[in-house]
Amino acid sequence: MSDANRIHSGDGDRASTVGDKNVRRRKGRARKRHDYLRNLLQDLTPGERFRRITEDAMCIGCGLCQSVAGPDRIRMRLVENLSERPIAEDELDEETVARIFRACPGTRIEGLPERLVEQDSGYDDVWGIWRRMTKAWAAEPGVRHIGSTGGVLTALALYLLESGEVDCIVHARAAEKIPAFGERALSRNRADVLRAAGSRYAPTATLVDIVEILDRAEAAGETIAFIGTPCDVTGLRNLATEDPRVDSICRYQLAMVCGGFMAPTALYRFLADLGVERDNVKSLRYRGHGCPGATRIETRDGREVEKNYLDFWGEDDSAWSLPFRCKVCADSTGDAADIAVADTWIGGAPSWDGQDADPGTNAVIARSSAGENLLARAVAAGYLATGETLTPRDLDSYQPHQVAKKRAVWARFVGMRSAGRIVPDVARLRLKPLARSNTPVENLAQARGTKRRCLDGSNSEPPPKPVD
């Protein structure tokens, strides 16, 4: 790794040592960011302020606010746009809403905590902090097969449980009530972990009871590991700044690299085109059981429908129908995770030919020393196999959509800000230097387009009305 690749520091800086001057500059910037949100929302009641997160379409439905406020005050509900959104069941006070704004991954997004950044870690504007980048896959062929890509996250979960390093994995599986969605899973053994393998490309409130999980783990003297989307990890890292039990109890935070999930309205359109009404879905496996494996739907009236992953997602990201928070996602590369895991298809999508012969290979980014050591132990224990070493430019070739989005987010935030919308407080995500790699015309187009869609309502959500 060249010296130019080694470093880490605040959001706007490309590469510098963390001196007093930078600390002062960072504090000044943080104050300015906080001032923006404070001034924007100061005339609203706490309840109105909380609803703005949803109405400005920055809620991704992680459920963390329910856990922070307590389910008697906020509850995740199915709402009119068929997403899960938090509904205040009771009057909210200033302090609760302030805590939610500090924890919510729609209002605060930060990269890897500084205390986890080593002086000799690698640094890349797009891919963030890293200590090791490698191809890898689950060493057990069965795990590799059922996993979404090469089964790395499932293999890490199995290693952590079966080695006794943690007592429980908090992650996601197919939801019982709405089988197309995901729901929070607690896995304590191999069968639980295998049941949760695969990607859920749908609303998944992974953090809906995380505070209660910490309460129970603390009482029982147990430890956990967390697997989720990057925004889930962002929420958990945010919570850790208020609740020290996150770091003492949750030993690892692992994420997939994430381009976003299918907005439920688009998902149900896709199913309707296949002749499957939403109440008739008995199970939906988005991928896995191969790489990527078929998108497979079972209906309550006994039909089985299989489509190719490319039928579901299209051949490139222009066909994606994403929630707005995903379109302006600053942390989709899993910047804050100990380990982030991705696909390795050149160009970002599989080809039509050869899918049956692809055993599945992940790109793995170990960001912290804890993540790097976990990777090494899982390999030594025979749970993971590793392949060639990767570079950030290899990652670019697998994830061109992530590169494009990372470069666009700063300008999109400018557009949101000029439309008077909630813009998350962002730190250590390099958005400004990335925007400088675009031409001014490109940045202007991103900012104007986002502003226009904020003002005409397309980047907004109606006040959430429960339908469940």
Ligand X SMILES: Cc1cc2nc3c(=O)[nH]c(=O)nc-3n(C[C@H](O)[C@H](O)[C@H](O)COP(=O)(O)OP(=O)(O)OC[C@H]3O[C@@H](n4cnc5c(N)ncnc54)[C@H](O)[C@@H]3O)c2cc1C
Q: Look at phi and psi of residue 181 and say left if phi exceeds 0, alpha if psi is from -120 to 50, else beta.
A: beta
Tokens 């929420």 belong to: 235
* Closest CB to ligand X: residue number: 259
Site string for ligand SF4, 9-48 (x = CB under 6 A): ----------------------------------------
Taking the C-alpha atoms of residue 367 and residue 352, their distance in angstroms, rounded to an integer, is 33
Least distance in angstroms from the C-beta of 187 to ligand SF4: 21
What is the C-alpha to C-alpha distance for residues 344 and 362, in angstroms, rounded to an integer? 6
Asked if residue 46 has a cis previous peptide bond (ω within 30° of 0), the answer is no
59 binds ligand SF4 (CB under 6 A): yes
Return the one option of ligand X, ligand SF4, none that residue 105 interacts with (CB less than 5 to 8 A, by type). ligand SF4
Taking CB under 6 A as the rule, does residue 139 contact ligand X? no
Burial 180-197 (b: 16+ CB within 10 A, else e): bbbbbbebeeeebbbebb
Per-position x/- string for 329-368, each x denoting binding to ligand SF4 as judged by CB under 6 A, each - no binding: x-xx------------------------------------
Q: Which of 12, 61, 147, 150 binds ligand SF4 (CB under 6 A)?
A: 61
**Residue type present at position 310:** L
158 binds ligand X (CB under 6 A): no
- Pick the binder of ligand X from 206, 299, 333, 368 (CB under 6 A): 206
Label each residue of 376-409 as H, E or C.
HHHHHCCCEEEEEECCHHHHHHHCHHHHHHHHHH
> Applying CB under 6 A, does 236 fall inside the site for ligand SF4?
no
Is residue 222 classed as helix, strand or coil in its secondary structure?
coil
- Binding ligand SF4 by CB under 6 A: which of 193, 217, 326, 435? 326
- Binding residues for ligand X, rule CB under 6 A, total 38
Q: Which of residues 32-91 bind ligand X (CB under 6 A)?
A: none
Residue 143's SS3 state is helix
Q: How large is the C-alpha radius of gyration of the chain? A: 21
Instruction: From 210-218, 228-236, 302-310, 425-433, give the range in contact with ligand X by CB under 6 A.
Output: 228-236
For binding to ligand SF4 (CB under 6 A), which residues are involved? 53, 59-65, 86, 104-106, 229-231, 258, 260-261, 325-326, 329, 331-332
